[in-house]
Structure 1
Amino acid sequence: MTRWPLHRRTTALLLGTVLTAVTLSACGGGDTGDGSGPASVGEKEIRAALDKPTELTVWSWSGSLPDVAEAFEKKYPKIKVNVENVGTAAEQYTKLQNAIKAGKGAPDLATVEYSAIPQYALSGALVDLKRFGFDKLEDEFTPATWESVNVGDGLYELPLNAGPMALFYNKATFDKFDIEVPATWDAYVEAGRKLQKADPEYFISADNGNAGLTESLIWAAGGRPFTSDGDKVTVDLQDPGTKKYAENYQVLLDEKLLSPVAGWSNEWYQGLATGKIATLTSGAWMAGILKGSVAKASGDWRVAPMPAFDAESTSSINGGGSLAMLDQGDKQLAAAAFLRYVSAEEGADITQATGSFPARAAALGSQEFLGAKDPYFGGQEINRIFADSLAKVGKGWQYLPYDVYAITIFNDKAGKAYTGAKRLQAGLDDWGKELVTYGEEQGFTVG
C-alpha cells in the first residue's frame, strides 16, 4: 500500500452511491464466525479460528497485500487469503456499495481509505473492531492515525500507513534560481514569483483543482468545516481556518503562479522530471510516486516541512488507509486475525518495506528507520520530516460521512476558481451548498 492518493482522482462513478442516513443503524451486526453474533470475543476464539480451514476474500488495490497474504498463509496454513483487485478507489467503492445495497457479495475485508471510513461505518456496513478487543492496541499507533479510524464510539480499522503532509521541492531548480526553501506560505508565494520572473516556464507547483489537497490545506490552516454525529452533519466552509487557506491560496491563483496542467497527466510528470514544476505539497506517499515515476530526477528532489500559514498552523494528513471488515462476512474471527496481522504484526513490516510510511508508533520511534538515508532525495533522512509532521497533525478534523461523493463534485463546483473565473472562496461556498443539499437528500440533518 505504497500509494493512497487514488480517491483524490475519483470520478463520478460514486455519484448516488451513499446509503441514506435514514438507514443508519448500530454498526456491526454480522456473525463473528462462531455463532455468537455481535457479542465480544477474545483471543482464545480468534486463535481457535486459525486452526480451522477457512478461505477469506479481500478486496484491495494494494501492490504489497498479496505478499502479506502469502506470509500469513505460511504462518497459518489452514487459512487461504484471496486478494482480489476489483479496481482502484472509485471502482472498488462502487462495487462495494453495490454489494452492501444488495445485502450479499461483499468481501470479508476491503481496503478503505481513512476519508471513506465514515461513509461505510455510519451505514452499519462495517464491523466495530472493539468486538475483538482491538481498541486495546491504541498505544501501538500514532495518535493522528488512530483518530482517523475511530468514528463515533466505534473502531473500524487498525491503521496501516499514514500520509503526513510535507513539502517536496526540486533542489536543482531552487539552486538554479537561488530560491530558499519556504517555511511560510508568504515565502512560498515569493518563491513562486521569483521563479516566474526568472523564467515563465517554471511554476512553484501545479493545481487545476484537487479536493484532497484542499481538504488537507484547510486542515493545516486550522479549518474544521465538517462535523458529523450520527445523522447530524455540519458543513461550514466559511469557518476561520478555511478562509485563511482560501485567502493565501488565492494569491497563487491571481498571479498565475501555479501550472495549469492536470495532476497525474504526462505533462505533470514531465514537469516534475524537468523541475519546471518545482514543488509538491503532499502526503508522505509522494516519495514513492517520485521514485517510481520520476526516476530520472533522482538526486534533484528534497523534502521539507509544509509551509506554515501562521504561528498557529499545524500539520495535516493527505491519504492513508487500511483494511476494514465488512459486516456481511461470516468468517470474522479469521478475518480479524488477518486484519491485525496486516497492521500490527509482521504484515506491517512487509508493507513498510515497500516504501509505505508507517502508522505504528514503534516504527516511528526507531532510529534506524528515522535515520535511513534516501538516495533519491540526495541522501536526506526524509522519514524524520514525515514523522515530525505526523506528530504535529492538528486534532479534531472530521470527514463528511459522504466525503467520497464530496470529492467527485469538487471540480464541478470549485473548479472555476483555478481558471480565474471565480474566487476560490466563492467556489468553496458553492461546493458547500451542494454538500448541504446532497446531505439533506440522503436523510442527514445538515446545519
Structure 2
Amino acid sequence: MKNMTCLLLAGTAALSLAACGSESAPSQTSDGIVTKITKPVELQFWHSISNPVHAEVLDKLIAQFNDTVGKEKQITVTATFNGSSSDLYSNVIAAIKAETAPDVTLALRPYVADYLQTDLVVDLTPYIQDETVGMPDYEDIFEGLRNGGTTYAKEGTYSLPIHSYSEVLYYNTAFFEENGLTVPATWDELIETSKKIHEITGAPAFGWDNLAGSFMTLVKQYGGRYTDPEGNIYFAEEDSETALKVLNLWKENVGSGIWRTAGEDMFFSGPFANEQIPMYVGDSVEASYIPAKNPELKWSTAPIPQVSDDTAANLSAGHVITALNQSGNPEKAYASYELIKFLTSKEANLAVVTAGTGYLPIRQSVADSEEYKAYVADGHDFLTAAVEQNDRYFYEPAFTNDTTTSSAVTSAVRTMIQEVAENGTDPQTALDNLKQTVGLN
C-alpha cells in the first residue's frame, strides 16, 4: 500500500490542475457548495459486493434511486462491480492516475486515508449540515460509526458507514448448559471459564479470529491508546506498558493451554462448528457460516468481555462510502452526496440488514424498527449481541504518512501477537521488533 500511496502523492499536483481547469461553478451556498443541478449528471459508482443476495439488494437500491431522487434531480447512477475490496482499491488507484476515477466508491477506511493524499475526496460536512439538502437524521447513525468518517488526518467528513459488522463472543450453548458454565462478561471471568473448560476437555477453550483486532481492543479496554489519524503509534512508545500487558495476556493464556490462535484454520468458525473449541471472538458476519458447517450445533452470541464500563470498547468494521470529484464539477459533487445520503438512509440500511447479508444496522432507528425486530426474532437472534454494543463501537484508526500506513502497522501487530502467542517470544522483544518494522527505531 505504501508504494501505491507514493504514486498518489506524486500525482496530486497534476490532478489538482485538472480540477482547476473544469467548467465554472453554478451559484453556490454560503458554505461554498452547489445544491442544485442545472443539467443531467451521470455518476459512476464502483463497489465490491459479490454476495448474490446483497448484490440484488444493491441493484434494487440503485434502480430505486434512479427512479426517485435521481429522476427528480437529473442524476443517473451506473453501478459497477470491481472485484474484492482490495481489487476495488487497486482499480480506484489506477483510475485516479488515469484521471478516470469513479464519482462514488465503496471503500475501507484505510483506503480513504490513501485517497486523501490527493485533493479529490469530497468533504461531506457542508452538505450534511445544509438546511435544504442536509441530513437531519445524521445523528441517528451510531456515534462510533459516525465518528469514523471524521477521524482522518484531514478535517472534514470524508466517508459515511454503509455496511457494518462488529465482534461478538460466540459460545456453544449446549456445552455451557451441560457443564453449568456462565457466559463471561469480563476478561477475568473469561480466563476462569477457559480454565474450567480446559479441565473438562483438556484442550484450548478460547480463541480470537482477528489477532491485530484483539490487540487494538484490549489496549483500549486497559486504558491505553493504539494509534491516531496522524499516525502516532502510542502503544509502541508512551503506552507501551499497556501493550506489554496485552502481550503477556496472550503469552500466558496460550502458554497454559487454555487459549489458542486460529493458525492454519484461519478462522474459528470451523473449529467452533466442529465442536473443537466452545467459545471464540469473531466478526458478527461469521454467524451466517456456522449453520452451514454444522446445522445441529446449539450456539449463540454475547457481547465481548470488557475490562470495565469506563473503558468499554468493541471493534467495528465494514465498508464505508466516499465520493471522488476528479472533474472538479460542483454539481457532480452534490449529486454524489445525494447518492451517499440515499444509500446510508434508514430505508436503504433496513433493506440491507433484513436480506440475510449478515450486516448490522448503522442507525438506531433501524435497530428500533419493527421490521428489524421481526427479522431478528425470525431465527436471527444471534445479531442482538452485536447491536447491543453499539455504544462501544470504534474503528481501527486509518492513516497514511511519510513513514508508514495504518495497514502496515496492523500487519506488524498481527506478526507481533503471533511471535508471542505461537512462538513464545518475549513480549518486550516482540514489541521492539515491531518498532523496527514500522520505522520507530
TM-score normalised by structure 1 residue count: 0.77
Q: 1:367 to 1:73 in 2, by over 3 A?
A: closer
Instruction: Give the Å deviation of 1:45.
Output: 5.3
**Counterpart secondary structure, 1:217:** helix
The answer to whether the aligner puts 1:403 opposite 2:399 as a matched pair is no
Partner of 1:217: 218
Pick aligned residue for 1:416 from 397, 419, 423: 419
For residues 239-290 of structure 1, give each alpha carbon's deviation from its aligned partner in whole angstroms, at most 9, with x where no partner exists.
154344333333322223334444764x844312122232232343333444
Distance 1:33 1:41 in 2: 21
The answer to whether the aligner puts 1:67 opposite 2:60 as a matched pair is yes
Pick aligned residue for 2:4 from 6, 17, 30: 17
Distance 1:170 1:160 in 2: 31
Distance 2:7 2:282 in 1: 32
Instruction: Give the Å deviation of 1:218.
Output: 2.7
- Check the 8 A contact 1:205/1:257 in 2, yes or no: no
- Check the 8 A contact 2:306/2:312 in 1, yes or no: yes
- Check the 8 A contact 1:228/1:234 in 2, yes or no: no
Partner of 1:57: 45
Distance 2:353 2:20 in 1: 32
Partner of 1:82: 78
- Check the 8 A contact 1:222/1:242 in 2, yes or no: no
Partner of 1:284: 284
- Check the 8 A contact 2:304/2:314 in 1, yes or no: no
Partner of 1:270: 270
**Counterpart secondary structure, 2:78:** strand
Q: 1:142 to 1:318 in 2, by over 3 A?
A: closer
Partner of 1:8: none
Pick aligned residue for 1:105 from 92, 100, 103: 100
Structure 1 gaps of 5+ residues are: 1-13, 439-447
Partner of 2:25: 36
Listed as ranges, the matches of 1:344-355 within 5 Å are 344=345, 346-354=347-355, 355=358
- Check the 8 A contact 2:203/2:258 in 1, yes or no: no
Distance 2:98 2:36 in 1: 29
Q: 1:117 to 1:214 in 2, by over 3 A?
A: farther
For residues 139-159 of structure 1, give each alpha carbon's deviation from its aligned partner in whole angstroms, at most 9, with x where no partner exists.
231211111111342101122
Distance 1:189 1:38 in 2: 63
**Counterpart secondary structure, 1:340:** helix
**Counterpart secondary structure, 1:226:** coil
Partner of 1:5: none
The answer to whether the aligner puts 1:237 opposite 2:232 as a matched pair is no
The answer to whether the aligner puts 1:144 opposite 2:155 as a matched pair is no
- Check the 8 A contact 2:43/2:104 in 1, yes or no: no
TM-score normalised by structure 2 residue count: 0.78
Counterpart of 1:17 in structure 2: which amino acid? M
Counterpart of 2:317 in structure 1: which amino acid? G
The answer to whether the aligner puts 1:48 opposite 2:37 as a matched pair is yes
Pick aligned residue for 1:364 from 360, 363, 367: 367
What RMSD over aligned residues (CA atoms) do the two structures have, in Å? 3.8
**Counterpart secondary structure, 1:415:** helix
Listed as ranges, the matches of 1:293-442 within 5 Å are 293-294=292-293, 296-297=295-296, 300-310=298-308, 312-328=310-326, 331-344=332-345, 346-354=347-355, 355-366=358-369, 369=372, 373-374=376-377, 376=379, 380=381, 382-383=383-384, 385-393=385-393, 398-401=397-400, 402-424=405-427, 426-437=429-440
Instruction: Give the Å deviation of 1:168.
Output: 1.9
**Counterpart secondary structure, 1:70:** helix
- Check the 8 A contact 1:325/1:335 in 2, yes or no: yes
Counterpart of 2:316 in structure 1: which amino acid? N
Alignment coverage as a number of residue pairs: 412
Listed as ranges, the matches of 1:75-224 within 5 Å are 75=68, 76=70, 79-100=75-96, 102-133=97-128, 137=135, 138-150=138-150, 151=152, 152-201=154-203, 203-205=205-207, 207=209, 210-224=211-225
Partner of 2:250: 249
- Check the 8 A contact 1:259/1:277 in 2, yes or no: no
Structure 2 gaps of 5+ residues are: none
- Check the 8 A contact 1:183/1:307 in 2, yes or no: yes
Instruction: Give the Å deviation of 1:413.
Output: 4.6
Instruction: Give the Å deviation of 1:350.
Output: 1.9
- Check the 8 A contact 1:161/1:356 in 2, yes or no: yes
**Counterpart secondary structure, 2:282:** strand
Instruction: Give the Å deviation of 1:199.
Output: 1.8
**Counterpart secondary structure, 2:161:** coil
Instruction: Give the Å deviation of 1:414.
Output: 4.3
**Counterpart secondary structure, 2:252:** helix
**Counterpart secondary structure, 2:397:** coil
Larger radius of gyration: 2
Instruction: Give the Å deviation of 1:398.
Output: 3.5
Counterpart of 1:216 in structure 2: which amino acid? T
